[in-house]
Amino acid sequence: MGNSGGSLTTRSTGELHQLMRAAGFTGMDDAEALADGWQVTDFADAGPRSMATLVQRTGTPAIAVSFLDSDVGFIEAAMPDGTSWEGLLNRDMAEDYEIPLDQFPIEPAVAGALAWAAAAGLTPDEEAVRQALTGSAQFAEELSSALLVALGLPGAA
C-alpha cells in the first residue's frame, strides 16, 4: 500500500509544525529545508480549510499535495491574497480510480501554478509545469517533485 498522506511546501519564519497543527494538519514528519527559507514536510491529514488558514497565518504561499495510495496526487495551493488553485497529478491513474478528470482541468491549473510561482517570487518553467500536470509516473510523488522543480522552488530536486 502506498502513501495516503500529503506533502506541504511553504516558506516559514516560524516553527512550521506548530503553525501546521494550529491550521488543522496532523501527523507531521520532520521538515526538510530546501533553500531561501522554503521547507517541505509530510503530513498524515489536513482539514478542509487547513491550507487557507496556514497561508493566512504565515503570510506566504503554500502548496500541498495529498496522495491517494501513491497513485494520484491532489494539489491545493494558496496565496496570501486569498487566491488559490488546484490540480491533479497522474491523471491516467486517476481514471482508474474513476476520479472525474473534468473537475481538474489542465489549463486553469497551469495558469494557477504560474501565478502562484510568480506570487512566491519564483521563476517557473511553463512547459515543465504542464508536463508535471499531464504526465504519468509509477508514483504520484515523482510528479509532485517534478512540479516543485518546475515551479522554480530553490533546492527542490
- Over residues 29-52, the pLDDT tens digits come to 888 889 999 999 999 999 989 999
Say whether pLDDT at 104 is over 60: yes
Is residue 52 situated within a structural domain?
A: yes
Alpha-carbon Rg for the chain, nearest whole angstrom, is 14
Is residue 90 situated within a structural domain?
A: yes
Greater pLDDT, 31 or 23: 23
Q: Which residue has the cell 504519468?
A: 136
Q: How far apart are CA 72 and CA 38, in angstroms?
A: 24
Strands 38-43 and 6-11: antiparallel
For the chain, the domain total comes to 1
This prediction's pTM: 0.94
Structural domain range at position 143: 6-150
Give pLDDT tens digits for 115-150. 999 999 999 999 999 999 999 999 999 999 999 999
Closest CA relative to residue 28, chosen from 12, 104, 36: 12
Is residue 1 situated within a structural domain?
A: no
Residues 81-91, mean pLDDT to the nearest whole number? 96
